[in-house]
Structure 1
Amino acid sequence: MGKENEAPEHTGSIRPAPAPKPAQTAATMPAENDLAYAKAAAAQVLARAGNDASQIWENPGTGARGIVTPLADAYTQDGFQCRDFLASYIREGAESWLQGDACRIHQGTWTVRNLRPLKRT
């Protein structure tokens, strides 16, 4: 018999590596309490204006964290000044990305209108 027909040899001296944690799927949204921190960070960074700023956020209760970064310039929609942004979401070693938009509504306060998983093309 040739070697191609032989079963692999197992000695039992080395344990197999644990399976990696499954990555968060693109369709999965973070928990509401984590989203609250990400939305607050979005409002803060958008209030500062500029395209070269990012805002770190962290939920100390869950350990989730991320960064919110504005995209491009503001635009007008439905009479409000609006802006798009990206937000990272890291929890228990899994990372995902969200895309959203916010508008300056009440007395200059930025309010997140949409936040959804990033669609990669």
Structure 2
Amino acid sequence: MCEGIHAGRGVALVATFVAALAAGGCSISFPLGSLLGDDDVTATSSVTSAPSPLSPELTAEDWRRAKAALEVALDPFGNGSSASWDNPETGAKGAFLPLGQPYVKDGDVCRAFLADLTLQVGSQALQGTACRPSGGGWSILEVKPWRKSV
């Protein structure tokens, strides 16, 4: 009879050990860089992305200010007028003008816009589309140069 109790404890102990080992396996971590050669790490670590989808000339602070103006201009409940921004530190400035009415695409609210940017490299006129998921912020889906009609 004692052998049955000891055998039951042994099975329970093994089951606990296996469960702990399986759960612990989910928390094992190691540096991913160790899987890459030194050359690979150097090559990928030097790649940086521009802070703004509008222009690589915009700094992160320029984009923060521009994005706030973009959100005001594209607001579906707003008055449809343009919203401007500027950064006195860099001299960059611009304005967004919503085009047409907001529309729904794949469950997101979208709106076309025109953007005028004045940067150190010169002025740029852009045309784009941005979308916003319910309760989220605006993301620019596409942007391209806009040529004003003469």
- TM-score (normalised: structure 1): 0.62
| Larger CA deviation: 58-67 vs 36-45 | 36-45
Quote how far apart the aligned CAs of 1:31 are: 2.1
2:85 counterpart of 1:85: no
Aligned to 2:25: none
In 2 relative to 1, CA 54–113 (structure 1 residues): closer, same or farther, beyond 3 Å? same
**What is the aligned counterpart of 1:103 among 119, 125, 131?**
131
Quote how far apart the aligned CAs of 1:111 are: 0.8
Paired with 1:66 and 1:92, the residues of 2 have a C-alpha distance of 12
Helix, strand or coil: the match of 2:95? strand
Paired with 1:45 and 1:119, the residues of 2 have a C-alpha distance of 18
Paired with 1:36 and 1:100, the residues of 2 have a C-alpha distance of 18
Paired with 2:59 and 2:126, the residues of 1 have a C-alpha distance of 14
Letter in 2 for 1:100: G
Matches within 5 A, 1:1-121: 29=55, 30-33=57-60, 34-47=62-75, 48-51=77-80, 53-92=81-120, 94-107=122-135, 109-114=136-141, 116-120=143-147
Identity of paired residues, percent? Answer: 34
For residues 34-76 of structure 1, what are the alpha-carbon distances to aligned partners after superposition, in whole Å with 9 as ceiling and x for unaligned? 233222211012225333x010100222110011100011111
**Any runs of at least 4 consecutive aligned residues in structure 1 with deviations exceeding 3 A, and if so which?**
none
Task: Give the number of the structure whose residues are more often strand, by fraction.
Answer: 1
Quote how far apart the aligned CAs of 1:81 are: 1.3
Quote how far apart the aligned CAs of 1:94 are: 1.8
Letter in 1 for 2:139: V
| Larger CA deviation: 71-80 vs 95-104 | 95-104
Helix, strand or coil: the match of 1:44? helix
Aligned to 1:3: none
Contact 2:108–2:134 under 8 Å retained in 1: no
Quote how far apart the aligned CAs of 1:118 are: 1.7
- Which of 1 and 2 has higher RCO (CA within 8 Å, sep 6+)? 1
Quote how far apart the aligned CAs of 1:106 are: 4.3
Paired with 1:44 and 1:71, the residues of 2 have a C-alpha distance of 13
Q: How many residue pairs end up in the alignment?
A: 92
Contact 1:42–1:55 under 8 Å retained in 2: yes
